[in-house]
Amino acid sequence: MNVWLNFLIESLAFGAVFMYGSTGEILTEKAGHLNLGIPGIMCMGGAGGCLVLNIIGGWNLPPVLVVILGVMGALMMSMLMGLIYSFLTVTLRANQNVTGLAMTTFGVGLMKVIMSKLDPTVYLVGPKKIFRWPFAERTDALQYLGVLFFVGVAIAIVASWVLYRTKVGLRLRSVGENPGTADAVGINVTRYKYLATCIGSGISGLGGFYCIIDYMASQEAYLSLEAFGWLSIALVIFALWRPHMTIIGSTVFGFLFSCSSYIANIEWITVTMAAKPLLKMLPYVVTVLVLIITSIRNKRENQPPASLGLAYFREER
């Protein structure tokens, strides 16, 4: 494959990490909660999945079952983090920003402790047999876009359909826009907030698992997860709080983030060492530009939920 095709495939595969994280964050924000704990949740999802794979590594299980158990481990750990966040911000009505930052600090630290105790020769071997397509040739693009990439695309599409084409999605969006009105018409606000946050956390956690096991497939992959988590939150703004837009946005982010590596390989382009950090700033610059443009256009459908970041006090409705 030539350098441009490699560049495109790398952008798609890299962007899937952001796609998982931002899709989960969109579900949470649609319920009115700004979860700045996504980086920590992605870290814990990756650590939980790798922990399960390390435990079952010597059991000689079928590769498909190994992957399923790993995914379940990632989901359980990340959804547990989401449940803790929900309890603190929904039930106890703690400040969402402070709680999210605390969850990130806790998640990143605990992940580093867990991953330092695991054997990468165990948790990185089994899943490789099933994360790639058995019918694809060795040089086929499908060998670089694993099964979990397409699972992430499917999750983004399904999440968008649920939000905008079902009663559940309509009720969830109403909770994020005006929880008092939603409560008055009989919608269980607390239930929807808990479900959206826990499910969103589970999806984000899969992004961390995908990054470590499938995309990077290396022992050092977990060291980059925190930065990817913050980029996932930025992608929510780029996608205008629409899950299906994360597919496009994540590809753009992956493209921009890969520029520093691939542009240097193009013969007629000279990239100095000082320019590489500037290229890595591109995703954040684009996010700021999108935020400015959406603010100028001031369309309601391009704005965040009206009650985003605000605790709901039922007695004040």
Three-class secondary structure assignment of 136-194: CCCCCHHHCCCHHHHHHHHHHHHHHHHHHHCHHHHHHHHHHHCHHHHHHCCCCHHHHHH
The crossing angle, in degrees rounded to 10, of helices 167-177 and 3-30 is 70
Which pairs from 187-196 meet CB under 8 Å and 24+ separation? 189/312, 189/314, 190/90, 190/91, 192/31, 193/31, 193/32, 193/33, 193/86, 193/90, 193/312, 194/83, 194/86, 194/90, 196/27, 196/28, 196/30, 196/31, 196/33, 196/172
For the domain that residue 253 is a member of, what is the CATH number? 1.10.3470
Please state the pTM of the whole predicted model.
0.91
The mean pLDDT of 260-269, rounded to a whole number, is 65
**What is the rounded CA–CA span in Å between residue 302 and residue 238?**
10
167 vs 20: CA distance, rounded Å:
24
Domain of residue 193: give its range: 3-316
pLDDT at residue 138 greater than cutoff 60 = no
pLDDT digits (tens, 9 = 90+) for 79-103: 999 999 999 999 999 999 999 999 9
Please say if the pLDDT value at position 273 is more than 70.
no
| 49-79 burial: b if 16+ Cβ within 10 Å, else e | bbbbbbebbeeeeeeeebbebbbebbbbbbb
Lowest mean pLDDT among 16-30, 34-48, 129-143: 129-143
List, for residues 206-237, the tens digit of each pLDDT value.
Answer: 999 999 888 877 777 788 899 899 989 988 98
Answer yes or no: is pLDDT of 262 > 80: no
Phi, psi dihedral angles at 94 (to 5 degrees): -70, 160
**What local confidence, expressed as pLDDT, does residue 300 receive?**
67
Structure tokens at 288: 């700021």
Whether residue 284 has pLDDT greater than 70: yes
How many structural domains is the chain composed of? Answer: 1
What is the C-alpha separation between 245 and 248, in angstroms, rounded?
5
Length of the chain: 317
CA 55, chain centre distance (Å): 25
| 3-state secondary structure (DSSP) of residue 93 | coil
Give the span between the Cα atoms of 36 and 142, in whole angstroms: 33
Q: Which of 152, 172, 193 is nearest to 20 (CA)?
A: 152
